[in-house]
Amino acid sequence: MGAYEQTYARSIDDPEGFWRDAAGLVDWIKPPKQILDDSRPPFYRWYPDATLNTCYNALDRHVVAGRADQPAIVHDSPVTGDVRTLTYAEMVEHVAAFAGALRRLGVEKGDRVLIYLPMVPEAAIAMLACARIGAVHAVVFGGFAPAELAVRIDDSRPKVIVSASCGVEPARVVEYKPMLDEAIELAESKPTACVILQRPQLEADLVEGRDLTYAAAMEIGRADPAGCVAVAATDPLYVLHTSGTTGKPKGIVRDNGGHAVALTWSMANIYDVGPGHVMWAASDVGWVVGHSYIVYAPLFAGATTIMYEGKPVGTPDAGAFWRVIAQHDVDVLFTAPTAFRAIKKVDPDALLLAEHDTSSLRTLFLAGERLDPDTYEWASRILGVPVVDNWWQTETGWPIVANPRGLEPLPLKPGSPSVRVPGYDVRILDDRGEEAPAATEGAICIKLPLPPGTLATLWGDDDRYVASYLSAYDGYYLSGDGGMIDEDGYVFVMGRTDDVINVAGHRLSTGSMEAVLAEHPAVAECAVVGVSDQLKGQEPRGYVVLKSGVEVDDEVLAAELVASVRSKIGAVAAFKRVTVVPALPKTRSGKILRRSMRDIVDTGSTKVPSTIEDPTVLDTLTPLLR
Ligand code: COA
Ligand code: AMP
């Protein structure tokens, strides 16, 4: 048996022994005696009697170990022209000061702090400052509009919000502060204070009595910096909202102890990144990839992490990624396939690659959406390094299926993110909950308990956690993805079986877009489906049925609906096309057959489902949908 097979078998046969050993990777204040609390299924908790501090594990311990002067974070921002390095010692100083400021603003252990920031080091500083004092951060991606931000404010009820005057997108400066003010206006729960990072590109107006600048907060905090407090391993570290099938996002709760153990384990065993290495996750702190592999995991491992405020193309050109790799000696790059598709579209022969020395790069990891064979082949060919797909979700926080490069590099199979990661007992189940034979498609499920680092529950909603993930098959977590496992144990992920879509690696809910379309007075019924897109993987398309007797110009209506989605959900929805149709295909129980509609757009036809109410609707729709 190879190292992978042996390790995987042990993690499943003796999970407590396996995770007891892995706990040695973390500095505990009170080390765990009990490893798993399984007294309240389907709720499981790891390291229930232990205490630690996440920020200590990410920063202070590396200073103690002699890495004070090593860069912890390099901020590289082609959109502002800044490159700024913060060493581990500087990070401890900044984070302790900001944590002190939060404390002076009344933030106590367990209180929430919402962070709505672009890709600046202050985002990581704010996250780690929360961890330092046991506060719970809720980071919201900057591309979301005020209404979406308001929903997240009301769900997490933050005492303090940390934001910025603006974000910088290639073609425009995005004013964050007016969006924040509007969101606070819309939300029922009001923060007691807002800390605003004033960026030189655009200064924001402050609300007297509520807002203070980041610089002012740091001045307060420097006078009274905060140390690391002990929190229970099971205490929440953060809430991260992600799209579900309904409009209401799910607040994924991550704990402190399991998260520190699992992420640290993943760095050595999956990503093969250790102390002194340079990891660049080209994503955003607002997404789970950013939480795990821009901020926490590289710092737990004592590596250097790159925070990149730019795009793969246009900042200034399709050689941007190669420039960053060369300039910062990046060992490992992690991004979404869509970024490589964007580069390939502009520079198909990768001519710009020759202008940069990218020899430091050892591995390219891709995740966030299906890795299509063309992109896999192109990236492998131009870079000449292993291109490693890995499959996971906001819920799990770290890979479920991957090629464990540190543990034992396994052969790569295009189309598959490789094998089950130790700790995850992945099974393919059929409709009756029976295990599907090898190479047969079904629902990808994970036998409980999930390993450390995965979601503990949904914020304030245990019932929804059980209903969403644990009730379809007793004793299993339902991933929401369909797929199969072949004879060699390689997992193939085919895509979501629900109404969640993936646009440019961003997870979005068609339900929330439908809710916006349905608000328009001319719209009787609507459906949003995710159709294939060459660049972004999927693209949302809206289909609306008009109320009877309503007379509108289709183009005017479409423009209004597109503008509505942009202003209510955000630019990130990338919602650009709406078609007026006479009817929507439905089952006899009234459920809209979105999958059939998607098939028609993608392939020109669909198998007529036996449950369809009126098959002629599909015939009429086929020419209109494409
Ligand atoms: N703040 C404000 N607006 C933002 C934003 C932010 N943080 N991020 C994106 N937006 C805006 C964009 O400006 C764009 O607006 P537009 O409609 O006015 O052009 C819109 O949201 C859509 O953004 P996006 O889907 O990112 O499209 P894009 O054309 O700007 O870039 C890619 C496309 C593929 C280059 C880009 O998505 C990318 O690099 N993705 C790969 C990395 C990644 O983000 N992965 C996430 C999970 S790993
Ligand atoms: P998110 O929670 O935003 O990380 O999105 C998770 C979803 O993205 C998964 O449920 C999958 O549908 C999709 N996804 C993520 N990584 C992969 C991958 N490597 N291959 C296929 N789909 C992926």
User: In angstroms, rounded to a whole number, what is the distance separating the alpha carbons of residues 530 and 537?
Assistant: 9
**What pLDDT score was predicted for residue 83?**
98
Please check whether residue 234 is in contact with residue 257, taking contact to mean a CB–CB distance below 8 angstroms. Answer: yes
Q: What atom in ligand 1 is closest to the CA of residue 282?
A: 42
DSSP for residue 374: H
The fraction of the chain above a pLDDT of 90, given in percent, is 93
Average per-residue pLDDT in the chain? 96
> How many whole angstroms separate alpha carbon 218 and alpha carbon 99?
9
Q: How confident is the model at residue 244 (pLDDT cuts 50, 70, 90)?
A: confident
Residue nearest to atom 9 of ligand 2 (CA): 393
User: Which residues have C-beta within 8 Å of that of residue 583, sequence separation ≥ 6?
Assistant: 545, 614, 617, 620, 621
Cα-to-centroid distance, 495 and ligand 2 (Å): 8
pLDDT score, position 608? 86
| Distance (Å) from CA 505 to ligand 1 centroid | 9
Which residue's alpha carbon is at the smallest distance from atom 19 of ligand 1?
Answer: 571
Backbone angles phi, psi at 410, to 5 degrees: -105, 160
Q: pLDDT band at 248, cuts 50/70/90?
A: confident
User: Can you give the pLDDT at residue 43?
Assistant: 97
User: Which residue, by CA, sits nearest to atom 6 of ligand 2?
Assistant: 393
The answer to whether residue 499 scores a pLDDT higher than 90 is no
Contact present, 402 and 421 (Cβ < 8 Å)? yes
- % residues pLDDT > 70 (the chain): 100
* Mean predicted confidence (pLDDT) in 300-313: 98
- For residue 271, the 8-state DSSP code is I
Neighbours of 590 (CB within 10 A): 7
Helices (H), 353-426: 373-383
Is the pLDDT at 227 greater than 90? The verdict is yes
- If one residue of 250, 372, 498, 502 were mutated to test the ligand 2 pocket, choosing by the most ligand atoms within 8 A of its CB, it would be 502
Q: Are strands 172-175 and 476-485 parallel, antiparallel or unpaired?
A: unpaired
Question: HSE (CB half, 13 Å, CA atoms) of 66?
Answer: 2
CB-defined site of ligand 2, < 6 Å:
242, 288, 367-371, 389-391, 393-394, 417, 480-481, 493, 496, 502, 507
Q: Does residue 610 carry a pLDDT above 90?
A: no
Confidence tier at 498 by pLDDT (50, 70, 90): confident
Q: What 3-state DSSP class applies to 498?
A: coil
Residue 327 pLDDT level (bands cut at 50, 70, 90): very high
How much is the pLDDT for 129? 99
Burial class (CB in 10 A: 0-12, 13-18, 19+), 40: exposed
If you search the block for the tokens 């001045």, which residue do you land on?
A: 219
- Atom 4 (ligand 1) nearest CA: 143
- Tell me the angle at which helices 337-346 and 373-383 cross, rounded to the nearest 10 degrees: 70
Residue 246 confidence (pLDDT) above 80: no
Q: How far is the CA of 480 from the centre of ligand 2 (A)?
A: 10
Q: Is the pLDDT of residue 494 over 80?
A: yes
Q: What is the structure's pLDDT at 388?
A: 98
CA distance 297 to 186: 35
The residues, ordered by sequence, that sit 6+ positions from 588 with a Cβ below 8 Å of its Cβ are 611, 612, 613
Is 541 a pocket residue for ligand 1 (Cβ < 6 Å)?
no
- Model-level pTM greater than 0.85? yes
What mean pLDDT do residues 197-213 have? Answer: 97
The structural domains of the chain, ordered by start, are 3-310+390-483 (3.40.50.12780), 498-625 (3.30.300.30)
- Taking the CA of residue 141 as reference, the ligand 1 atom at the shortest distance is 7
Position 1 scores a pLDDT of: 81
pLDDT of residue 569: 94
Hey, CA dihedral for 466, 470, 475, 477, is it positive or negative? negative
Name which residue sits closest to atom 13 of ligand 2, judged by CA: 369
Rounded CA gap, 88 and 72, in Å? 5
Q: What is the CA(32)–ligand 1 centre distance, in A?
A: 42
- The alpha carbon of 55 and the centre of ligand 1 are apart by a number of angstroms equal to 29
549 to each of 42, 482, 552, 561, how far by Cα in Å?
52, 42, 10, 19
Residues belonging to the chain: 626
Pocket test for ligand 1, best of 174, 309, 311, 324 (most atoms within 8 A of CB): 311
Residue 270 DSSP one-character state:
I
The band of 546, judged by pLDDT with boundaries at 50, 70 and 90, is very high
Between the alpha carbon of residue 280 and those of residues 358, 397, 462, the distances in Å are 13, 17, 35
- The span from the CA of 562 to the CA of 544, in Å, is 12
Rg from Cα positions in the chain: 24
